[in-house]
């Protein structure tokens, strides 16, 4: 293929997949990459992979790149089963005539705005990655691994030239370990996955009403009394920081203040705005405890605390939270009210602004830049802070117009169980942005946020992945890369590749199903879980009284966001009704699924008798059977052009509406497709 523009290739690719059967011939035209690179040119030819394949490094490369190249070689070997003779790539064991030559000019720093660009060239004679820094080489190696393809003759890389750099410098994932603690291995495997999709910031939410998770030597009662024994030692912190650095990922700590601090007050009640004693909160929501912003002792305490924590965490940015302070303790404290009167502080918002200024002074003293949720945004604060927008994009717009840098998490709250395309089409700088080019430059990027009210170490991976891979593309790739159909196609491929990092997002669902069935027949439950999802938003807590130690082992925990089979069924029905009307093959495929779900309930009832925990979704299973039967009838009517009476249609639509109700905090996700079939019969 001659040199063609990236966007023309995307158009060509979509045309190919929409009009042709999938085959290896079609697939090789456009590589299955995520995130999509800035510029890609597909060439003629291919590089065939063999067991004598080697990697070499040239230029000013540090330890990070040698280690990462070795890991890439091991991953390539694991994917292909090939016995490469090269073991570790080090300065002393560096191939002089390698098949893959990596060149970089300097060792990069793991900091904001470091150069992460690279050029990747694949030809029949070899592969070259060129980069200014080793950070760019790391990103190029991930693209290289995604280019791997196969045919009957073995593995190969199609000839391409890729020139790539990120759209946004800040591409993050927040992991909340305050509400539910996450062991070290959970953090590490998610760091591996982040690197695979070119995310570069781990936002580590380390304190909450439910737990303070870092060993603090200056104030040991923070972790001794505020963590239930679940915290990271400083040696573990340093180990994770090194692990992240080796993958080109910054780690920004967050210690939330002045609210969300119940766990602080257990050991140090003198910090609070009301007398103690205090205890770790076991429930979710906005709690009353807040630091007293009027006492100098509060700032003396925080000065010592920041001195230790800023020394532990090397990143130049430090997140102070600043969200959801309800002000109740401030309102009830007459000394705080008197302080406000004496200092012309009109309200609690202004009092928190006073607190933030004092915190900013301390962090500046320790050479840190302050980040906070958008509640901290006050026009009288210096513009060297970063506004983290979570309540809406308007905060980013207002901040940029006043000269503040910002990052976006609104629209990327993955704990809300929204489908992938909801996040994918949410852009930090949308096409209709009212900002000037200078103001747009103040938007640093964004973060997906994994809040931990309803996750455990067993479920966290399935809540983050694979959806966050699509968010990573939004942060890295150009804004006009937004084809949802193609995103889902590539996401399915990347989903499998992510498993090589030890992620449990697919494996643990099967484990949950076995556990829920107590080792009995898992098929009926698997069929049901394939077409349900957990409730959206924060409605889950409105239906059960969840506390910190409530079980997270039920069907709702096994169910995944954006259930694949349910989404594919909805798409199949859409295609049948819109473009494949009365197509026998599509008709048979839809009918086969509906028959499976219609008959599933009979077997599922027998499993419930052996596993009472499944009782809460019995009616959900029964409704799946009934709506599937409705769908079969509607499908037959539509396919044959038969008339049906209005009574059947009305009764069916009434039942379908009822079946939309949650059971066990789960929802049936094939309902919209069944509803469309019934309405198609009626001509509505």
Which residues neighbour 431 within 8 Å (Cβ) at sequence distance 6 or greater? 479
**Looking up tokens 């130690």, which residue turns up?**
549
Rounded distance between C-alpha atoms, residue 472 and residue 453, angstroms: 23
Nearest to 122 by CA among 144, 155, 142: 144
Structure tokens at 127: 């592969």
Angstrom distance (rounded) from CA 184 to CA 583? 52
Q: Please tell me which residue in 114, 324, 618, 629 is annotated as part of the active site.
A: 324
Cα first-last separation, the chain: 47
- Could you give the C-alpha distances from 178 to 238, 363, 540, in angstroms and in order? 19, 22, 19
Q: Are 324 and 289 in contact (CB under 8 A)?
A: no
Token pair 């299973």 in the structure block, residue: 621
Q: Which residues of 632-662 are buried (b: 16+ CB within 10 A; e: fewer)?
A: bbbbebbbeeeebeeebbeebbeebeebeeb
Q: What share of the chain is helix, strand, coil (3-state, %, to 5)?
A: 45, 15, 40
CB 668 within 8 A of CB 531: yes
Q: Among this protein's residues, is 324 annotated catalytic? A: yes
What would the two tokens of residue 21 be?
A: 């059967």
What is the C-alpha separation between 206 and 177, in angstroms, rounded?
6
CA–chain centroid gap for 91, Å, is 36
For residue 24, give Cα distances in angstroms to 7, 152, 211.
22, 10, 51
Tokens 């979704």 appear where?
A: 617
Nearest Cα to 245, choosing from 502, 501, 68, 450? 68
Q: Where are the alpha helices (DSSP H) in 63-208?
A: 63-80, 134-146, 184-196
**Phi-psi label, residue 537: left if phi above 0, alpha if psi -120 to 50, beta otherwise:** left
Closest C-alpha among 422, 434, 545 to residue 484: 422
The three-state DSSP-derived secondary structure of 294-348 is: CCHHHHHHHHHHHHHHHHHCCCCEEECCCCCCCCHHHHHCHHHHHHHHHCCCCCH
Contact 407, 471 (CB under 8 A): no
For the chain, give the number of residues. Answer: 684
- Which residues are known to be catalytic? 324
């Amino acid at each position: 293929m001659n040199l063609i523009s990236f966007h023309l290739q995307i158009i060509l690719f979509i045309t190919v997949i929409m009009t042709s059967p999938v085959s290896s011939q079609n697939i090789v035209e456009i590589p299955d990459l995520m995130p999509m690179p800035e510029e890609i040119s597909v060439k003629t030819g291919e590089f065939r992979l063999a067991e004598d394949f080697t990697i070499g490094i040239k230029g000013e490369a540090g330890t990070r790149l040698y280690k990462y190249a070795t890991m890439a070689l091991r991953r390539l070997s694991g994917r292909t089963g090939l016995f490469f003779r090269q073991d570790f790539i080090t300065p002393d064991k560096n191939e002089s005539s390698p098949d893959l030559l990596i060149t970089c000019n300097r060792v990069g720093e793991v900091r904001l705005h470091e150069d992460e660009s690279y050029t990747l060239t694949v030809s029949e004679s070899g592969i070259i990655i060129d980069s200014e820094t080793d950070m760019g080489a790391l990103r190029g190696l991930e693209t290289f691994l995604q280019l791997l393809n196969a045919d009957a003759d073995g593995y190969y890389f199609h000839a391409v030239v890729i020139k790539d750099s990120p759209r946004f410098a800040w591409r993050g994932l927040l992991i909340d370990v305050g509400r539910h603690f996450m062991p070290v291995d959970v953090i590490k495997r998610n760091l591996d996955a982040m690197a695979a999709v070119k995310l570069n910031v781990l936002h580590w939410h380390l304190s909450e009403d439910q737990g303070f998770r870092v060993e603090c030597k200056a104030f040991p009662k923070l972790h001794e009394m505020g963590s239930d024994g679940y915290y990271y030692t400083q040696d573990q912190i340093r180990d994770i920081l090194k692990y992240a650095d080796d993958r080109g990922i910054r780690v920004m700590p967050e210690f939330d203040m002045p609210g969300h601090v119940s766990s602080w007050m257990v050991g140090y009640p003198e910090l609070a705005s009301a007398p103690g004693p205090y205890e770790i909160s076991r429930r979710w929501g906005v709690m009353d405890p807040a630091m007293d912003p009027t006492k100098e002792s509060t700032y003396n305490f925080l000065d010592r605390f920041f001195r230790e924590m800023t020394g532990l965490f090397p990143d130049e940015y430090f997140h102070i939270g600043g969200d959801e302070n309800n002000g109740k303790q401030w309102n009830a404290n007459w000394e705080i009210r008197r302080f406000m009167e004496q200092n012309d502080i009109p309200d609690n918002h202004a009092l928190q602004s006073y607190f933030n200024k004092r915190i900013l002074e301390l962090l500046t003293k320790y050479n840190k830049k302050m980040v906070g949720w958008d509640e901290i945004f006050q026009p009288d604060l210096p513009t060297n802070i970063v506004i983290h927008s979570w309540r809406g994009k308007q905060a980013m717009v207002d901040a940029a117009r006043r000269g503040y840098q910002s990052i976006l998490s609104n629209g990327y709250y993955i704990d809300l169980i929204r489908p992938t395309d909801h996040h994918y089409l949410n852009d930090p700088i949308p096409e209709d942005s009212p900002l000037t080019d200078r103001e747009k430059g103040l938007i640093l990027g964004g973060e997906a946020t994994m809040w931990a009210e309803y996750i455990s170490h067993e479920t966290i991976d399935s809540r983050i992945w694979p959806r966050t891979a699509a968010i990573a593309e939004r942060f890295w790739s150009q804004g006009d890369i937004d084809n949802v159909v193609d995103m889902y196609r590539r996401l399915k491929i990347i989903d499998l590749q992510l498993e090589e990092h030890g992620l449990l997002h697919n494996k643990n669902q099967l484990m949950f199903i076995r556990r829920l069935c107590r080792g009995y027949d898992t098929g009926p439950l698997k069929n049901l879980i394939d077409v349900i999802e957990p409730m959206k938003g924060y409605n889950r807590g409105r239906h059960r009284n969840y506390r910190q130690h409530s079980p997270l082992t039920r069907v709702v925990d096994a169910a995944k966001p954006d259930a694949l089979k349910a989404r594919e069924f909805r798409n199949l029905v859409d295609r049948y009704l819109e473009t494949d009307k009365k197509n026998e093959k599509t008709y048979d495929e839809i009918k086969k699924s509906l028959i499976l779900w219609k008959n599933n309930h009979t077997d599922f009832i027998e499993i419930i008798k052996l596993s009472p925990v499944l009782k809460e979704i019995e009616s959900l299973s029964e409704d799946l059977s009934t709506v599937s039967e409705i769908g079969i009838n509607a499908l037959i009517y539509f396919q044959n052009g038969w008339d049906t009476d209005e009574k059947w249609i009305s009764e069916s639509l009434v039942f379908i509406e009822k079946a939309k109700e949650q059971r066990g905090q789960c929802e049936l996700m094939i309902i919209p497709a069944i509803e469309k079939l019934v309405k198609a019969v009626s001509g509505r």
